Structure 1
Amino acid sequence: MYRVASASEYLVITGFGIDDIKIAKKAWVLPGQSYSVFDISPVNYTFEVMAMSAEKLPFILPAVFTIGPRSDDDDSLNKYAKLISPHDKLSHHVNELVKGIIEGETRVLAASMTMEEIFRGTKEFKQEVFEKVQLELNQFGLWIYNANVKQLVDVPGHEYFSYLGQKTQMEAANQAKIDVSEAKMKGEIGAKLREGQTLQNAAKIDAETRIISTQRQGQGKKEEIKVRTEVKVFENEREAEVAEANAELAMKKAKWAKDSQVAEVEATKAVALREAELQKEVEIMNALTQTEKLKAEFLSKASVEYETKVTLTYIP
């Protein structure tokens, strides 16, 4: 037979060919095998746990736990299928099992704490109860999906929480009166302090104003002296630059005058030398002319004398 479980159910199959159990959403159930169906939807368990503190003071812990198997953990499903699924999850057996775990862990934890610690640390107390209960439920494959622990309740004849609440209210009322008185006193003192601070601040502002005014006047004078000094330095620097420029110009003029005089002397000497050279050339030319003239005269006289001698020699 082919069997299919619904959305919130699982098949648990045992028998031929299966060593332990087989859990599946759908499967063939073969001859020699048997199957059952178990629901994994969580169930709400409501309890009023009777516990006792370290001072032997009893109290009631109302709680609602939403508990069921973990569908995302195969090991938890196996434990649940073996230990819980044979019983109706709403049966007295399962209810007593869960109640016993919750009561046992709550009583053990409460016995190690004083009423004051339980009352002051209710949130931490509840969280520790959840953790210890979950640790025990793990062995049955159960998981706490949600847990709601209500306000701790007194056992008749032991109105500790009532008295503690009244004490807290009285302390709060007394503290409120003290706070009002302190607030009124602080208000009056604050007003006086504010008035004194106002006068002090006014005097302080006046003094600071005079100081700032004096500082600004002194700063203004300092700036004026600084500007005058800078102007004087600038004027001196300019005068020095002018003097240096004048000196440099005078030196250049002197050099230019010297160079001009040297040039004039050199020009005069050059002219004289040229005149001397020209005069020498003239004299040389005159000497050459005279020499040529003398040569010509001597040559002419010699020629005449020669011709005369020759003529005289050949006369018959």
Structure 2
Amino acid sequence: MPSTADLPLLFLVGGVAFLVLSTLWILTTRFKRCPSDKILVVYGKVGKGLSARCIHGGATFIWPMIQDYQFLDLIPIPIDIKLTGALSKQNIRVNTPSTFTVGVSTKPGTMENAAERMLGLSNESIRELAKDIIFGQMRVVLATMSIEEINADRDKLIENISRGVEVELEKVGLQLINVNIQDITDESGYIEALGQEAAARAINDAKIKVSQAERDGEIGRAQAQKEQKIVVAQAQAEATTGENLAAVDIANSNANRLVQEAEANRQAEAAQNVANARVQQEAYLAQREAEVARAEKDKASQYASVVVPAEVEKLRMETIAAADAARIQIEAKGKGDAIRYVQQAEADGQKARFLAEADGQRARLLAEAEGTEKVLKSKAEGFRALVEVTASRPDLAINLLITEQLPRLVEEQVKAISNIKVDKITVWDSGVGADGKNSTASFLSGLAGSLPPIHELAKNAGIELPSILGKTGDLAGSKPANPST
């Protein structure tokens, strides 16, 4: 049992021990460590101008009496946003059910906002606060975008929503972790119509590719058939050319024989007849050259009047077809690429048909011109043979040529009075005159006499008609020729 003198010492030792133990207890209980999934918020007297001090990771000492602490949970909070009836840029109401994941931010500055505005709130209260912010920002973002942008560019929609929501969440100390847009619909069915249009466009594109493949196959087959026909036609043309060359050689041989026989007969004639024949031959050769020149002129005229207009018409039809194709393409924009390709195919077919018709008409006209040229050349050859055969009888060749031109001469006589317009004829017949004719007969005789005499026309051309066509009087006042002489 301790003595009375030892009691103060014992009290002193006990007091020191109590003080040490109390200090250890205080240090142990007031030194707080912060877990990785929480934020330690120290509030009270934490510094001049600060309402709280936030610590994420590590530890700190909490002074008793002047400081206290509390934890903010960093566990992510999922929030279902059933947004319906939000107005888009076109004033079309859309529905965008989404899921957002938020959590308390660990960014310096933002943690202090969380400590000031959400310290002590439950997770459900934090969820409701974030939901109100997200609802408002989603409506703002949707109001700045069109239905096409909302439906087609989900990344842009999510980016705009995230950018707007994050700014507002940081004001209360939260951060946006994830955004998931589940679906986008509208009350008017516009988005569904856009989907149907895209599906129809994809189907039409597939049909167009199939049609193009079939068209390429048909074109290839037609090209092969065309080449086959060309080769066969070339072979047939070569065979026909050989036959024609052989026939030409035979005709040339016969013509040479006839020319040599005619030349032998011509040399047997008298010198005077030879000279006359030469003069007539030169005249007919000149006529032949004139006829050939006229044939060339007619050919050029036919080409200018038929082939050139056909080519112009061809170019015009090509221009019209191109303009129609352009117009069809413009009108068909928005109605589907299938209609545009069908109309383009029809325009190409119409253009090909016009080109084929123009080429056919040109070939026909060229063939007619070549035929006319051959006829005129044959006629000139006939004139030359006629000159050679009738070398001893020049008048016989003249009679034959005049007989050939007689219808044209008669036509010229008829043209002299063909354009005379007689509205009304009044004849006062006074009976028989001194020459045995009445007034009516004299009028008709004078009208017939106004026709140009055929012998006068021939004389102006340097030709004397044979007596079989009648004779003219010696002077202008002489009697008309008797048709019976």
Q: TM-score, normalised by structure 1?
A: 0.54
| Pairing partner for 1:37 from 44, 67, 71 | 71
Amino acid at match of 2:163: E
Amino acid at match of 1:175: D
Matched, 1:170 2:200: yes
Alpha-carbon separation, structure 2, partners of 1:120 and 1:106: 17
Give the Å deviation of 1:2.
1.9
Q: Which residue of 2 aligns with 1:102?
A: 134
Amino acid at match of 1:30: W
Amino acid at match of 2:33: V
Amino acid at match of 1:121: D
- Report the CA distance shift for 1:173/1:33 in structure 2 as closer, same or farther (over 3 A): same
Q: Which residue of 2 aligns with 1:46?
A: 80
- Report the CA distance shift for 1:30/1:169 in structure 2 as closer, same or farther (over 3 A): same
Residues 158-307 of structure 1: matches in 2 within 5 Å? Answer: 158-190=188-220
Amino acid at match of 1:74: P
- Report the CA distance shift for 1:17/1:43 in structure 2 as closer, same or farther (over 3 A): closer
Aligned residues: 195
Question: 2:81–2:131: 8 Å Cα contact kept in structure 1?
Answer: yes
| Pairing partner for 1:66 from 79, 101, 104 | 101
Alpha-carbon separation, structure 2, partners of 1:53 and 1:74: 36
Residues 115-126 of structure 1: matches in 2 within 5 Å? Answer: 115-126=147-158
Give the Å deviation of 1:134.
1.4
Alpha-carbon separation, structure 2, partners of 1:148 and 1:115: 18
Question: 2:40–2:72: 8 Å Cα contact kept in structure 1?
Answer: yes
* Bigger relative contact order, structure 1 or 2 (CA pairs below 8 A, ≥6 apart): 1
Q: Which residue of 1 aligns with 2:144?
A: 112
Give the Å deviation of 1:12.
0.8
Give the Å deviation of 1:192.
5.2
Question: 2:46–2:53: 8 Å Cα contact kept in structure 1?
Answer: no
Amino acid at match of 1:57: I
Give the Å deviation of 1:43.
1.6
Q: CA offsets, 1:87-134, max 9 Å, x none?
A: 12x22x322322222222222222222212322223212221111211
Q: CA offsets, 1:254-310, max 9 Å, x none?
A: xxxxxxxxxxxxxxxxxxxxxxxxxxxxxxxxxxxxxxxxxxxxxxxxxxxxxxxxx
Give the Å deviation of 1:11.
1.5
- Report the CA distance shift for 1:69/1:181 in structure 2 as closer, same or farther (over 3 A): same
- Report the CA distance shift for 1:159/1:84 in structure 2 as closer, same or farther (over 3 A): same
Amino acid at match of 2:212: E
Q: CA offsets, 1:50-80, max 9 Å, x none?
A: 3221222111112222211333x22121111
Amino acid at match of 1:27: T
Q: Which residue of 2 aligns with 1:79?
A: 113
Q: Which residue of 1 aligns with 2:395?
A: none
Alpha-carbon separation, structure 1, partners of 2:33 and 2:224: 83
Give the Å deviation of 1:154.
3.3
Amino acid at match of 2:172: F
Q: Which residue of 2 aligns with 1:56?
A: 91
2:36 aligned counterpart, secondary structure: coil
- Report the CA distance shift for 1:83/1:17 in structure 2 as closer, same or farther (over 3 A): closer
Alpha-carbon separation, structure 2, partners of 1:137 and 1:194: 73
Alpha-carbon separation, structure 2, partners of 1:182 and 1:135: 54
- Report the CA distance shift for 1:194/1:34 in structure 2 as closer, same or farther (over 3 A): farther
Amino acid at match of 1:176: A
Q: CA offsets, 1:9-66, max 9 Å, x none?
A: 1221112354421223422221222211111222221212232212221111122222
Amino acid at match of 1:174: N
1:30 aligned counterpart, secondary structure: coil
Alpha-carbon separation, structure 2, partners of 1:63 and 1:13: 36
1:87 aligned counterpart, secondary structure: coil
Consecutive unaligned residues of structure 2, counting only runs of 5 or more, are 1-29, 228-485
2:193 aligned counterpart, secondary structure: helix
Alpha-carbon separation, structure 1, partners of 2:225 and 2:111: 77
Matched, 1:3 2:32: yes
Alpha-carbon separation, structure 1, partners of 2:222 and 2:134: 62
Amino acid at match of 2:34: A
1:182 aligned counterpart, secondary structure: helix
1:74 aligned counterpart, secondary structure: coil
1:35 aligned counterpart, secondary structure: strand
Alpha-carbon separation, structure 1, partners of 2:206 and 2:139: 37
Q: Highest CA radius of gyration, 1 or 2?
A: 1
Give the Å deviation of 1:138.
2.2
Instruction: Pick the structure with more strand per residue.
Output: 1
- Report the CA distance shift for 1:178/1:82 in structure 2 as closer, same or farther (over 3 A): same
Alpha-carbon separation, structure 2, partners of 1:146 and 1:172: 33
1:164 aligned counterpart, secondary structure: helix
- Report the CA distance shift for 1:113/1:74 in structure 2 as closer, same or farther (over 3 A): closer
Q: TM-score, normalised by structure 2?
A: 0.37
Amino acid at match of 2:167: L
1:97 aligned counterpart, secondary structure: helix
